[in-house]
Amino acid sequence: MSEKRLKNKLLKKRLFTKNRLIILNEDTFEEIFSLKLTLMNVFVVATIGAILIITVTTFIIAFTPLREYIPGYTSSKLKKNATELALKSDSLAFAIKKNEIYLESIKKVLNGDLEYAKVNKDSILAISVDTLPDLKLTATEDELNLRKEVSEKEKKDKKMEKRN
What integer is the mean pLDDT of 53-64? 92
3-state secondary structure of 118: coil
**This prediction's pTM:** 0.44
CA 91 centroid distance within chain: 26
SS3 string, 53-103, reads HHHHHHHHHHHCHHHHHCCCCCCHHHHHHHHHHHHHHHHHHHHHHHHHHHH
128: pLDDT strictly greater than 80 = no
Q: Identify the band that residue 132 occupies on the pLDDT scale cut at 50, 70 and 90.
A: very low
Residue type, 105: S
Residue 15 near residue 40 (C-beta atoms within 8 A): yes
Nearest to 13 by CA among 46, 43, 47, 39: 39
